[in-house]
Structure 1
Amino acid sequence: MTIQTGDRFPDTKLTQATAEGPREVSSTDLFKGRTVVLFGVPGAFTPTCSARHLPGFVQQAAELKAKGVDAIACMSVNDAFVLQAWARDQGITDEVTLLADGSATLTKALGLDMDLTARGMGVRCKRFALVAKDGVVAYLGIEEPGAFEVSKAEAVLAAL
């Protein structure tokens, strides 16, 4: 079942690459007592993700934070090392935290998985964005395949 507005975000673990190596991040800790924007992408280094989705949130980070957002995170079904390389490639410093869902555990718990095995990509995350306030989903935009409207930074800003 796909997560819905009003649902509590599931408790699971993600991985973040740090200078000291991979670090486990609890989704409960990420959301507890904060307003968080989480957006999911099908994959690091993929065209729309690299050219529009991630850069949009980096460019709009100050505006999002001015509207009460405490943290912005990007999730992908890649490993933490790939996301670390993607962050370097994109010039990301601390505007957006990149979180790896390498085994698609959270992606599946959210009901946002899609099977791209026929295209050589395996199980991936649908493109989405959500706003959670203290772990409860207040906004959810899930894209139809090939679309890029409800999950972009501008759509999230308009929803805040």
Structure 2
Amino acid sequence: MTINVGDTIPNATLNHYKDGVQAINTDEIFKGKKVVLFSVPGAFTPTCSAKHLPGYVEHFAEFKSKGVDVGCIAVNDAFVMAAWGKDQHTPDGLLMLADGNGAFAKLLGLEMDASAFGMGVRSKRFALYAVDGVVKALHIEAPGEFKVSSAEAMLAAIG
């Protein structure tokens, strides 16, 4: 079942790289905070590297000025996410989150089977806005599209 507006972000443990691989719980990411979390099918992939992550890098200060934290997540490991973040010049504070086995994508009901492309199970491209762990906006892309999960679309959604 897919997560919906009004639902609470499920409890899960993700990873990120900070002085080594560190576990981070979704409560730590979302509790008591305003957060935009956007998901990409894979680090270093064409649309993700040319448009999706760069838009959030470009508009990061605007999110922060609204008191909103930003996280990027993919079904990749923490080392890959850290390397991609470095390659894309992500600002300090933009969380590069690893959902290595796709468990969080499955909890959200937003996994997709990309086996036909040699990528296994991945996450759909989406963005959500949550306040204190409750989803206030959810934008899920149609397969092969990049429109509703952009930084600009999420800035418009949060006002």
Give the TM-score range, shorter chain: over 0.9
**CA offsets, 1:52-94, max 9 Å, x none?**
000100111111122231x100000000001111111111231
**CA offsets, 1:7-59, max 9 Å, x none?**
000000000011x2100000011100000010000000000100100010011
Q: Note if contact 2:78-2:100 (Cα within 8 Å) is conserved in structure 1.
A: yes
Structure 1 spans left out of the alignment, 5+ residues: none
Q: Note if contact 1:141-1:151 (Cα within 8 Å) is conserved in structure 2.
A: yes
1:23 alignment partner, SS class:
strand
Q: CA deviation at 1:5?
A: 0.4
| Deviation beyond 6 Å, 4+ runs, structure 1 | none
Q: For the aligned residues, what is the CA RMSD?
A: 0.8
Match of 1:112 in 2: 110
Amino acid aligned to 1:13 = T
| Distance in 1 separating the partners of 2:93 and 2:22 | 18
- 1:45 aligns to 2:44 (yes or no): yes
1:30 alignment partner, SS class:
helix
Residues matched between the structures, number: 158
Match of 1:92 in 2: 90
| Distance in 1 separating the partners of 2:93 and 2:144 | 26
**CA offsets, 1:98-155, max 9 Å, x none?**
0000010100000000001111000000000001000000010000011111100000
| Distance in 1 separating the partners of 2:85 and 2:61 | 18
Q: Note if contact 1:80-1:100 (Cα within 8 Å) is conserved in structure 2.
A: yes
TM-score (norm 1): 0.96
TM-score (norm 2): 0.97
User: What does 1:18-57 correspond to in 2, within 5 Å?
Assistant: 18=18, 20-57=19-56
